Amino acid sequence: MKELKINLLQKHLIIAFFLVAFVSCKDKAKKEAVTEDSTAVTEKATSNFGGLALYTVRDDMGTDAKTTLQAVADAGYKNIEAAGYADGKFYGLAPAEFKSLLDDLDLTPVSSHQSSVTLENADAMMADVKAAGFEYFVVPIPPMGMYAHDRGGKGRSLNGTIEDFVKVLNTLGEKANAAGLKLLYHNHDFEFKKNDDGVVIIDYLLDNCNPEFVDFQMDLFWVVTADADPIAYFEKYPGRFKMWHVKDMDDQGRFAPVGNGNIDFAEILAKKELSGMEYYMVEQDKTFDEMKPLEAIKISHEGLKKYGFR
C-alpha cells in the first residue's frame, strides 16, 4: 500500500513536471513571437523616413486611397502631405476617418495643401485640417482668384496686387494660429520673378508677411526653374522655410524622381538648419516615359538615401 502511494506520487510529480515544462515552452514561444513582432515594428519605424506629397499619386488616391497609402508606407515613407480636400473630407473620408486610416498604416499627417481656402471658409477648413491630425496648413497658390495660369502663353502669375496678397496671407496666418496650426505658403517659379512694378514677389512676401504667423514651403524644383538659388534665400531669410518640396529635374527640364536628375540636393541639404527646414516632402507633379507614379516614389525614396536625407 505504501509503495502504491509512492508510485502515485511519483506519477503526479512527473505529470506536473511535464505540464510546467509545456506551459513554460508555450510562454517562451509567445514571448519570442511578441519580441519578433516588436522588432519588426521597430525596424519599420527606423527604416521608414521622409515624407511624400500625395499630389504625386493623386489619381491612385482618387481610385483607392487605402491601397495607395499602404503602397506609400511600403515604399518607405513615414510622413504625408495631403492634396485632396473637398466638401469637408480628405479623399472622400471624414477628417477623423482619414486620421484613423493613417494611424493604422503608421503614417503621420504633417501638412495639407488647401488651394480652395478663402477668408470666408478658412475657419471651417482649418478645423477639418486640425481634426485630421495635420500640423501645417499650406496655401499652394495665391487664393481667392489671385492666381492666373495661362497654359498657352504667360504661364503662372499673380492676379491682383501684391499688397492685397500679403494681407490675405497674414489674415490666414492669424486664423491658422488660432486653430492650432502653422501656415505655409508654397511657391512656384513666378514668385521669383519681378512683377510689373519691378518687385520680386517672393522677396516682398518674405519681407512683409508676419513671421509670427506665416512661413514658407520651398519647392526646390520651381526655385531652380526660375534660375534662383535656394541657398541664397536661406542666407537672406534664415529660418523662414519650414518645409521643402524635393523633386528632381532631368536634362529636358522636366520633373524626375529624386536622384535621377541634376539638382544638387546634397549641397542644399547641408543648409537645412539655416533654412529652418523641419520636414521635407518628395513630390513629382508628372511622370514621363511610361513610368507610373507609384514606381517613381520608390525610386525617389532610394534617391533620398543617396543625398543623406533622413
User: Which pLDDT tens digit goes with each residue over 109-145?
Assistant: 999 999 999 999 999 999 999 999 999 999 999 999 9
pLDDT tens for 73-107 read 999 999 999 999 999 999 999 999 999 999 999 99
Q: Which residues, 6+ apart, have CB-to-CB distance to 258 below 8 Å?
A: 246, 247, 248, 265, 282, 299, 300, 301, 303, 304, 306, 307
Cell of 43: 525596424
Q: What is the CATH number of domain 49-307?
A: 3.20.20.150
Query: 43-47, 87-91, 169-173, 198-202: which has the minimum mean pLDDT?
Result: 43-47
pLDDT at 43 over 70: no
Condensed to tens digits (0 to 9), the pLDDT of residues 215-242 reads 999 999 999 999 999 999 999 999 999 9
DSSP annotation string for 62-125 = HH-HHHHHHHHHHTT--EEEE--EETTEETTB-HHHHHHHHHHTT-EEEEEE-TT--TTTHHHH
Beta bridge partner(s), residue 279: 243
- Give pLDDT, residue 39: 47
- Residue 184 near residue 138, CB atoms below 8 Å: yes
- Where do the domains of the chain lie? 1-47, 49-307
C-beta separation of 131 from 95 below 8 A: yes
Could you identify the residue written with the cell 533620398?
304
* pTM recorded for the entire structure: 0.86
Per-residue confidence (pLDDT) for residue 20, from 0 to 100: 41
| Dist CA 282 CA 309 (whole Å) | 11
Round the average pLDDT of the chain to a whole number and report it: 89
The region of weakest confidence among 87-91, 138-142, 146-150, 283-287 is 146-150
Is 60 exceeded by the pLDDT of residue 63? Answer: yes
